Amino acid sequence: MIRAMRQHLIRPRLFWQVLSVETRKLMAYRFDFWATTVVSFAVNLGIAYALWRAIFDASGQEEIGGFDFVAMMRYYVTVLIVRRLVRVHERQRGLSADIYEGTLTRYRLYPTPYLPMKYAEHLGGLLPAVVQVVVLIAAVLLVAPGDVVARALAALTPGALVMGLGAIAVANLLSYLLIVPIQGIAFWADNVWALDTMMRFLASFFGGILVPLALFPDAARAVVQWLPFAYLYDLPVRAVTGQLGWSEWALGMLAGSGWCVALALIGSWVWHRGDRIYTGVGI
């Protein structure tokens, strides 16, 4: 029993080593490293700016759903930074690519479980993401008006920071566990690009990247709270911007962790089944 359980766990030293190798890999290509920071952030923020400027101007309202224009921009800056720390990798197709290209074979030979090892790889993207986020925050602080910066910093209390970091940690794990069962379908379907894109869209929409969840109708918001996506971006953003009390945060963390457990079980089942039909490319 204990041996069976140990076969699903990875040693901390190995976890760190895998994480470190992934970090080194990501930082090996300077152009890609900086391009993912600047292009992705600038494009997304540019679209949000143009869209909401037009909406505010056309409606003639000062506030929409409790957000004035500055608060709306602050929301998008925060959510894009949180997304960088949660999703970590721009392209999250590593697992299905391992099946499709046969690189899973390499991991099958190692005396260590595959999915935790891949989570270590996923987490390996965190340090480069932190470096990129620091650069982005510095750029925003330089560009944004002083009073906007002061308001944002005032909301970032030590409590909000602790809650924010905790929520980002759970969201990061959740982000990985969401793709495990989806990408495991590649055992049967080979190519899961469409599912992957669909999942990315759902996560962006119901997680609050495209539109803040606060702007959703009440009924829709009630439904969204039962889905895992709200715990990816919405919860960390609200935590870090000081909109959450401790009890609301704890409840959100519990729900996010519950989703992690459920997805880990589903993912493990899918991979166990798929494993039996894996061919290692070619027969």
Partner 1 sequence: MAVIEVDGLRKVFHVHRKAPGFWNSVRALVKRQTVEKVAVKDVSFAVEEGEIVGLLGANGAGKTTVVKMLAGIVHPTRGDARVLGMRPSTRDDRLRRQMALIMGQKAQLWWDLPAADSFLLLKEIYQIPEARYREQLDQLAAMLQVEDELYVQLRRLSLGERMKMELIAALLHTPRVVYLDEPTIGLDLTAQRAVREFVLRYRREHAPAMLVTSHYMEDIERLCPRILILRQGELVYDGSLREVIARYARTKVVIAHLAPQETPVVPHASLAALGTVTLDDDGATLKLEVPRDAVTTAAARLLEHHPVLDLAIEDEPVGAVIERIQQAQGDEHAEDAVVADAIGARARVEEGRA
| Footprint on this chain of partner 1 (rule: CB under 8 A) | 7, 11, 13-14, 17-18, 21, 24-25, 28-29, 102, 105-106, 108-112, 275-276, 278-280, 282-283
CB closer to partner 1, 112 vs 225: 112
Tokens 């982005």 correspond to: 136
> What is d(CA 100, CA 167) in angstroms, rounded to the nearest whole number?
33
The gap from C-alpha 212 to its chain's centroid, in whole angstroms, comes to 16
**Which alpha helices (DSSP H) does 27-103 contain, by range?**
30-59, 69-87, 94-101
Give least dist CB 180 to partner 1, A: 18
For partner 1, the closer CB: 246 or 269: 269
Closest approach of partner 1 to the CB of residue 40, in Å: 21
Measured CA to CA, the distance from residue 65 to residue 228 in angstroms comes to 23
Which residue, 126 or 152, has its beta carbon nearer to partner 1? 126
- Considering the complex, what minimum distance in angstroms separates the CB of residue 31 from partner 1? 14
Q: Residue 67's beta-bridge partner residues?
A: 64
Q: Find the shortest distance in angstroms from Cβ 26 to partner 1.
A: 9
Give dist(CA 268, CA 23) in Å, integer.
26
> Which of 21, 262 has the CB closer to partner 1?
21
Q: How far is the CB of 7 from partner 1 (least distance, A)?
A: 6
The amino acid occupying position 59 is S
Q: How far is the CB of 99 from partner 1 (least distance, A)?
A: 12
Tell which residue, 107, 91, 92, has the closest CA to residue 182.
92
What is the DSSP-derived secondary structure letter of residue 232?
T
Please give the Cα distance from 128 to 73 (Å, whole number).
Answer: 25
Nearest approach, Cβ of residue 277 and partner 1 (Å): 8
CA terminus-to-terminus distance, the chain? 35
Measured CA to CA in angstroms, residue 148 lies from 43, 60, 185, 206, 262 at distances of: 21, 22, 46, 27, 40
Residue placing its CB nearer to partner 1 in the complex, 248 or 275: 275
Q: Which is nearer to partner 1, 219 or 283 (CB)?
A: 283
- Closer by beta carbon to partner 1, 9 or else 137: 9
Selection from 236, 41, 237 nearest residue 132 by Cα: 41
